[in-house]
Amino acid sequence: MAADNDGSELKKNKKKAEKTLQNGIEDDAEEEPNFSDPEGFVDDITEEELIGDLLKEKPTEYDGFDSVVVVDNVPIVGPEKFEKLQNVIRKVFQRFGKIRTEHYPMENGENKGYVFLEYTCPEHALEAVKLANNHKMDKQHMLQVNLFSDFIKYENMPKDWEPPQPKPYKDMGNLRSWLLNNESFDQYSVIYDAGDKTAIFFNGSGGQPNLAEERSRWTETYVRWSPQGTYLATFHSKGIALWGGEKFEQIMKFSHPDVQLIDFSPCERYLVSFSPLQETKDDPQAIIIWDIRAGHKKRSFHCENQSTWPVFKWNKTGEYFARLGTDALSVYETPSFGLLEKKSLKLPGIKDFTWSPTDNIIAYWMPEQQNVPARVVLISIPNRTELCKKNLFNVADCKMHWQKLGDYLCVKVDRYTKAKKVEEKDQYKYRGISYNFEVFRIREKQIPVDKIEIKESIIAFAWEPNGSKFAYIHGEVPRISVTFCNIRPGGKVEALKTLEKRQANHLFWSPTGQFIVLAGLRSLNGILEFIDTNDMTVMALTEHFMSTDVEWDPTGRYVISGVSWWGHKVDNAYWVWTFQGRLLQKQSLDRFCQLQWRPRPASLLTKDQLKDIKKNMKKYSTQFEIKDKMSQTKASKEMIEKRRKMLTDFRQYRADKEQEYAQYRERRITLRDGHDTDSQANNPDNYIDETIEFLLSVEEIVLE
């Protein structure tokens, strides 16, 4: 009975609650405001104006078309050649990324002449369009590459044409910011830790390195500076990256898989890269020339099997470049990158050539052929006029050396008395080798030539960069000599001095001339001899044991010698010397590999301004001496403060430890059965003086 009453009461309460809730909802509905637009209202604000920032972030459906490229003008082949065509297409386009799918539309057993390729991401498709468009497969087929999404874009072109917006200018910063250093410190790059770390240092006061930038795995092999120091090139498996500016940000990158070697044009406008990857006859990819500023490929070339690097050699301005071919010399011009006058120079048997450092002059040499003697020829470019020719007889080899200012050309000639042809290798074996120099005086009328006979074998030769002197190493170990010569204004070549019994196999002139380092690298254990060629005095004779490299800084004030981990696995370090041979710094780096000074661009001062500065050098030197003393005083104060702080810290540390030691005195006595060992240690009576004698040496004197 009680349960029935409880059930009926529960039903009444439930109905009452539902009625109350319904009334509440109706009351609330009556109180809600009205958000509807009034009659006659016109909405003149678009969604883009109202919530444009949110609409930009609205996700869009990805259809995958941005990753698809359409390749037109593909050769039409039958089933027997279809697989070969696929392999060629893959070889061309797999360089830009992984191809997910490929589709060749077919008709009557033949492909239709176009291909659909889908990459794994849109970036790879864009790279393929950028670099593979207009790719020449053969004489009749040049590929046309477009994004599939471009077809949709051009199909839905707006009725009203809008001019394309120019790309925003990307500010690279000051690419020559290091030249603005207040102290005019030069920079150099260092690779160490077996190539894992690359650092850029300022060569500070006294040769002290000041870190400017350091990164791990910045390059995979080595680095190289551009000729004027604007760019730092790093090597990667996919290509080359250029860095610059105060923070060494990436300026440009060039896709050339497995690139091994690079070269810059002297004007820094073009970059030449080499990769040993396999290539086809119709697809030259071994050597590529790039436009550095635009990042575009200008032209690609095949590489001969026996080519030497650099394959292409540039003139001073970067207007022309040339390469050696079979019985020909090919000269190209920029910016068209086509052959000069659309033809190569036919030169049967040509062996080598080189550009003048300052003028559009090419020097080349050709060996003897039948009754025609060997000869060295100078021609001007672009008119190909012959300026000078020197006939030579019984020539085994020639090496050409230009002076930096282009005033002189020295040709080292190896002559023979007997020659025997090796039929198997199509080469000659020579006997009775003798040597001589042929010196061409370029600035004089009709370019006269002087001959210098050398009786011994020649190990090395080098011109003074800004003068008329040259040096050469000659002889055989252990009787190696170094001879210095000078060319007088009248043309006479005079021997200045011969230094005998020297341990040297390399010559390193200062960039400003006058001073030279005779170095015995690698097998000669790192002997370094610093010489002033004005009076032929030896300023210093020293050694950096096992050194593999010597580098002058661009100003000729400092020299660095190094032991590279690539050459020796122990004692890897670089040492900094003054031009007089005084050691300033020893920098030991774990597995040090490479050091390169950052080049400086040519001075903006004229010859007259430079002459005036040298004339008034005493006035400027006084200012620099005062500045040096101030910097030394400042450095001394900093060193004194540093040492004083170190002494204060040590005294505080010692006082803290003595206090800590005193706190444990009672515990020590307890552990030692009540004996106070501290008092025993401080009592001099507990010590016994004992004299111990050691036999140092024995000397025997025979008395007659």
pLDDT at residue 679, as a whole number:
74
Nearest to 558 by CA among 184, 175, 180, 181: 184
Provide the number of structural domains found in the chain. 3
Question: What number of other Cβ atoms are within 10 A of residue 688's Cβ?
Answer: 5
Same domain flag for 566 and 620: no
Cα angle: 372, vertex 377, 380; to 5 degrees: 140
What does the block give as tokens for 506? 């390399």
Q: pLDDT-based confidence at 280, cuts 50/70/90? A: low
Q: Using DSSP, state whether 604 is helix, strand or coil.
A: coil
> Rounded to a whole number, what is the distance in angstroms from the first to the last CA of the chain?
150
Q: State residue 115 phi and psi, 5-degree precision.
A: -135, 145
pLDDT at residue 277, as a whole number:
77
Same domain flag for 593 and 465: yes
User: Last residue of a domain, which of 552, 573, 602?
Assistant: 602
pLDDT at residue 1, as a whole number:
43
Tens digits of residue pLDDT in 528-551: 999 999 999 999 999 999 999 999
Whether residue 616 is predicted with pLDDT greater than 60 in this model: the reply is yes
Whether residue 186 is predicted with pLDDT greater than 60 in this model: the reply is yes
**Domain span including residue 481:** 460-602
Three-class secondary structure assignment of 346-384 = ECCCCCEEEECCCCCEEEEEECCECCECEEEEEEECCCC
Average pLDDT of span 251-279: 92
Same domain flag for 485 and 615: no
Q: pLDDT-based confidence at 276, cuts 50/70/90? A: confident
Q: pLDDT-based confidence at 3, cuts 50/70/90? A: very low
Whether residue 240 is predicted with pLDDT greater than 60 in this model: the reply is yes
Contact indicator for 226, 252 with CB cutoff of 8 Å: no
Same domain flag for 589 and 472: yes
Average pLDDT of span 458-464: 96
Same domain flag for 617 and 580: no
Nearest to 380 by CA among 355, 360, 404, 365: 360
Question: What number of other Cβ atoms are within 10 A of residue 436's Cβ?
Answer: 16
Higher pLDDT, 344 or 32: 344
Average pLDDT of span 52-78: 79
Taking phi over 0 as left and psi of -120 to 50 as alpha, with beta for the rest, 97 belongs to: left
Same domain flag for 579 and 618: no
Q: pLDDT-based confidence at 26, cuts 50/70/90? A: very low
Average pLDDT of span 257-270: 95
DSSP string, 614-644: HHTHHHHHHHHHHHHHHHHHHHHHHHHHHHH
Tens digits of residue pLDDT in 285-317: 889 999 999 898 899 898 887 788 999 999 999
Who's near 105: CB < 8 A, 6+ residues apart? 111, 112, 114, 116
328-334, long-range: CB < 8 A, 24+ apart: 329/353, 329/362, 329/364, 331/362, 331/381, 331/382, 333/382, 334/269, 334/270
Average pLDDT of span 471-496: 91
Q: Using DSSP, state whether 579 is helix, strand or coil.
A: coil
Q: Could you give the CA distance from residue 525 to residue 585 in angstroms, rounded to a whole number?
A: 20
Q: pLDDT-based confidence at 507, cuts 50/70/90? A: very high
Same domain flag for 86 and 136: yes
pLDDT at residue 60, as a whole number:
59
Q: At 72, which CATH number?
A: 3.30.70.330
User: Last residue of a domain, which of 110, 135, 156?
Assistant: 156
Q: Using DSSP, state whether 524 is helix, strand or coil.
A: helix
Q: Could you give the CA distance from residue 655 to residue 634 in angstroms, rounded to a whole number?
A: 32
Same domain flag for 516 and 619: no
Does residue 111 lie within any of the structural domains?
yes
Does residue 251 lie within any of the structural domains?
no
Does residue 338 lie within any of the structural domains?
no
Same domain flag for 531 and 497: yes
pLDDT at residue 10, as a whole number:
43
Portion of the chain with pLDDT greater than 70, in percent = 89
pLDDT at residue 173, as a whole number:
84
User: Last residue of a domain, which of 660, 675, 698?
Assistant: 660
Does residue 188 lie within any of the structural domains?
no
Tens digits of residue pLDDT in 386-399: 999 999 999 999 99
